[in-house]
Structure 1
């Protein structure tokens, strides 16, 4: 009987398609282990050493070579679903795929949002982040959301 209840619960959760609402990226600072504020498309990423960045204007900035990518997935409040997020990272210039990552979606908050986190070690190339989601039991992914991060190295 418990197995049947689990099957019924899982199938009832799988009926609503989930989709990505937002993507946010933050630098992971190497000295303190804290995160920068969210990177905006208007931010100037100042190269400290090859592949280590700070956000110009952040007076507490430290070198960083890893970015935290937060993908927000909403559901109507009080609902839940099983599913996954796929993140595709491509080189802005060559369009070459640098990484393709998937992660299961966790629990949804009371407000109906689940945050899925990815860490990516960046280098001297600008990247495009593209995320999409799907509900377990539904074969197709949702429409994707994307953002670009203008990494680059100079002297």
Structure 2
């Protein structure tokens, strides 16, 4: 009986160690994306508000700021009829004193055709970007 208890304890300890390791890896600091690498970078919206999407936005550096242009509609926006080509979804300007933070406007299109503009703050990293809007996962598309 004691042998079973010892085995159970070892198994639980091993699971605890694995969980701690995974949590440590998941919380590793993000690597900032330098401004010069942002021009042409593509990011995919993997999940938004619990729904799969897959739209892709390509960011282009312009004088005084950055524009994010829709290059792949993904699952949600593909349901819209008449969505214009090269749709600008982000209009951003750098935040002073930071290397990879921007603020500006995000244009949100819904499957019913409605459109809303929201103020947004983004922080670009090598593998993803994070923003201050609804829960979403944006991952960088590596080409």
Normalized against structure 2, the TM-score is what? 0.27
Greater relative contact order structure (CA < 8 Å, 6+ sep) = 1
Bigger helix share: 2
Rg: which structure is higher?
A: 2
